[in-house]
Amino acid sequence: MDIKKKRTFKISLVSFTPLLLALPIFSVAVSNTITSSSYSPPTYNQMMHALENLLQYYERNAEHIIVDAYYGLKVTTANDTFIVYSSIRHVALIQQTIHSYENGKSKLEEKQIDRLKQIYQDALRISKRIEETSGRNSSAYMKHSKMLHTSFPFPERLAKLELVKDTPNNSGNSSIDFIKISDQCLWDMMGGGLRHPPVCTINDSCWRGLTDFSTEGYIITHQFLLIFVGEQFNCTEKMNQLSQNLGGIEKVKQALCTRIYYQMTKALEKGLVTGKMQDLFIEQIYICGGTGGYQQFLRPEFLSMILKWRTKDGCFSPYHGQYISLHPKLARK
C-alpha cells in the first residue's frame, strides 16, 4: 500500500487472484480495440488449477504473508469473517460463481462447481490459519484493520470505456506530489491513521493529487485505488460533490482508466520485458478491470499470457521468456 517504498519483484499475487476469479463470473465481450492475439483463451479448468496452486502457495507460506498483499482477502461465512493479509479475499467471487450456477446462469459443469466449492472451503481454512499465525498481533494488522473489516463493492456488470483521449479540464495542472501524500490521503478517507479524522475526509491537496490526469505508472493506479476506498467507505456522494465540474466521480474514474489503458497497450506493443512492467500490468488489470469493471482490461488473452509467467510453486517472479506481449513473435527487441 505504501507506494513510496521500492518494490521487490516476486510479483505480487494481490492483483492476479481477482483477475483469475473474475473471468469465470463475467461473460467478457472481447474488445476490438486491440488486434487479436496469439493466445487461446484459458479454460475454466486451467483457471481453477491455477487457483489451487495459489492456495497451496499461501498454505506453504502462511507465516510469511506480508501486509503489502493484505488488500485482497476477506472470506465471509454465515458465522465468521476471517481477515488476513493476502489476495485470497476475492474468493467471495467464487461464491458468486456458485450462486450463478445454482440460479441457472453459469456455463460451468457440475464437476467444475464441485471443484470450486472445494477451492472455497480450502480458502476458508487457509484464511483462518494465516490470520491466526500472522494477523491480529502485528502493528500492520492494527494499522489496516478498519479497511480490512469494511466490505467493498465489486462491479455487478462490466462497462466499456469510451477511450477518448480528452481529459477533464484540470489535466496536468496539479503541483501535488501524490506519491508523498497518498498514504495519508488513504487514512483520511477511511477515518484511520494517527489523526482519526471523520470518514470521507478529503483535503485539497489529496483531491488535487487524485484528479491530476498527467500521471503515469503506479501513481495512476493508486489514484484509482483511493477512489475505490472512498466507495468502500460510502464516500461516493462526497466525491461526486467535489468532482461536479469534472462530470462526477465516474467521469474521473473513466479518465484515469483511459489513461491507464493507453499506457498499458503501449507497453504491451513493446513487450513487458522487466518484472516491474509485468507487475504493473497485472495491477492495471486488477484496478480497472477487477475493481473498475471495464471490460477492455478483462480480455482472456491477458490472463493466458499471465498464466505463462507462473513459477513451479504457483507464484510469480520476473519472467524472461517470450510471452511478454500479445504477439510474442512480433514483440520489439
Residue 143 sits in the same domain as residue 27: yes
Q: For residues 302 and 175, state if they share a domain.
A: no
pLDDT band at 111 (very low <50, low <70, confident <90, very high): very high
| Total domains present in the chain | 2
Residues 207-232: tens digit of each pLDDT: 999 999 999 999 999 999 999 999 98
Q: What is the mean pLDDT of the chain?
A: 77
Give the pLDDT mean for 250-255.
96
> Does residue 93 sit in helix, strand or coil?
helix
Q: How far apart are the first and last CA of the chain?
A: 33
Task: Note the pLDDT tens digit of each residue in 149-191.
Answer: 677 667 777 899 988 766 665 555 555 688 889 989 998 999 8
Same domain flag for 147 and 266? no
Read out DSSP for 277-307? HHHHHHHHHIIIIIIT-BGGG--HHHHHHHH
Q: Is 248 left (phi over 0), alpha (psi -120 to 50) or beta?
A: left
Name the residue range of residue 311's domain. 11-158+298-333
Q: Enter the pTM of the model.
A: 0.81
Does 194 reside within a domain?
yes
pLDDT at 18: 54
- Under the banding of pLDDT at 50, 70 and 90, the label for residue 129 is confident
Residue 330 grid coordinates: 512480433
Better-scored residue on pLDDT, 29 or 205: 205
